[in-house]
Amino acid sequence: MEQVRFGIIGIGNMGSTHCAGFMAGKVPEGKLCAVCDISEERRDWARKTLPADVEIFENTDQFFANAKVDAVIIAVPHYFHPPLAIEAMSRGLHVVCEKPAGVYTKQVREMNEAADKSDRVFSMMFNQRTNPVYQKVKELLESGELGEMKRVIWIITNWYRSQSYYNSGGWRATWSGEGGGVLLNQCPHQLDLWQWICGMPSRIRAFMKYGVGRDIEVENDVTAYAEYPNGATGLFITSTHETPGTNRLEISGDKGKIVVENDEITFWRNRVGEKEFNETYTGGFGNPECWKINVPVTGPNPQHIGILNNFCSAVLHGTPLLAPGQEGIRGLSISNAMHLSYWTDSWVDPSNLDEDLYYDLLQEKIRQSDFVKKTSAVTLNTEGSY
């Protein structure tokens, strides 16, 4: 096999973005061969826009039975990610799944079990893992350069979304259609990076507001406090209703602190570790000598294209995946823990949350909803939105 033959299920915002990448020749080891969408309008777009040899299907039954593909990109609303991934793997197809892995971990765990039994390549579309800035931060922590982590704070409030964005799809920002708000749609990127860089917290306490300044029924303002096994603490703040927003990651450790903002890394490095300084310093007031270092970052940030090229290389050459599909459950576990903490007014361990209780409470949200959505279906240009 010289190229991986791809099919895309769902050619809305992200699916059409992936189509554009293939048509521009940005995935040289991949070829777009089929698309599938239940919307006649999107299929018309495909007929007018995509090469004539790309097959177009109106439902997944037709797609799985007839599409001549080796791999599938799943780019549909969140609830459908696990069942479609499981179906694809059962058909012998490799899978790239858009974020999030799903809505609730119980469902995603079934997807992971299917992947474990399959010999197919399974990747999540965690495109922020291609960013050399976050790769460098992960390297600094893993190398011990920062020392033992003491605190992590991520303020990610620049996911601004207007009412027109929410109105662009009937499934958006509803319990039945999306299963949540900012934690399920925008922040899976940061939740994944958070655990990828810092590891999983041992417990979380979260607070939320629903529909701040927007006609939606799910969370668009979240503040969560986390604790880690080594005693470190964390704070995660996000929203989609304030502008200008902030994207600032700060990680403090024994040997200083790292600040990531505006795609730049500043390392405030203690010449002597805090623990050693505390044990040896006798002068009362005082601090370790600290150096401000602008950490150089090199290399491209290929985003979605980077994930697809890595995926193709994994299929064709056995290259390790940058975003293995089974890791999608980790960030979702944090998201589910935040929701469950708020719903039950209690602490929740994201690695050991009550999956049945979470599912039951989510279903209760759906049953009790009397929200009437005003929509005007629109496919949006995603450039600059991630």
Q: Is the pLDDT of residue 333 over 90?
A: yes
Question: How confident is the model over 298-310, as a mean pLDDT?
Answer: 97
> How many residues does this entry show for the chain?
386
So what's the pLDDT on residue 169? 87
Class of the CATH domain delimited by 136-300+331-368: alpha beta
Whether residue 100 has a cis bond before it, omega within 30° of 0 = yes
> How confident is the model over 114-165, as pLDDT tens digits?
999 999 999 999 999 999 999 999 999 999 999 999 999 999 999 999 999 9
Residue 376 in this model has a pLDDT that exceeds 60: no
pLDDT > 70? residue 206: yes
The whole-model pTM stands at: 0.95
Q: State the burial class of residue 255 (Cβ atoms within 10 Å of its Cβ: 0-12, 13-18, 19+).
A: buried
Phi and psi, residue 34, nearest 5°: -155, 150
Indicate the CATH number for domain 4-128+302-324.
Answer: 3.40.50.720
What is the rounded CA–CA span in Å between residue 302 and residue 42?
A: 26
**Structure tokens of 61?**
């039954």
List, for residues 8-38, the tens digit of each pLDDT value: 999 999 999 999 999 999 999 999 999 999 9
**Domain coordinates in residue numbering, the chain:** 4-128+302-324, 136-300+331-368
Is the confidence at residue 383, as pLDDT, over 80?
no
Q: Which helix (H) or strand (E) holds 226?
A: strand 219-227
Closest CA to 104 of 321, 314, 361, 322: 361
pLDDT of 372 reads 83
pLDDT of residue 86: 98
CB under 8 Å, gap of 24 or more: what pairs does 342-347 form?
342/206, 342/207, 342/208, 346/205, 347/203, 347/204, 347/205
Structure confidence at residue 4 (pLDDT): 98
Q: Sign of torsion, CA 123 126 127 133? A: negative
Chain-wide mean pLDDT for the chain?
A: 96
Answer whether 260's CB lies under 8 Å from 179's CB. no
Tokens of 12: 């809305």
What's the pLDDT band for 373 if we cut at 50, 70, 90? low
Q: Please check the confidence at residue 380 and state whether its pLDDT lies above 80.
A: no
Helices (H), ranges, 201-354? 274-280, 303-317, 328-344
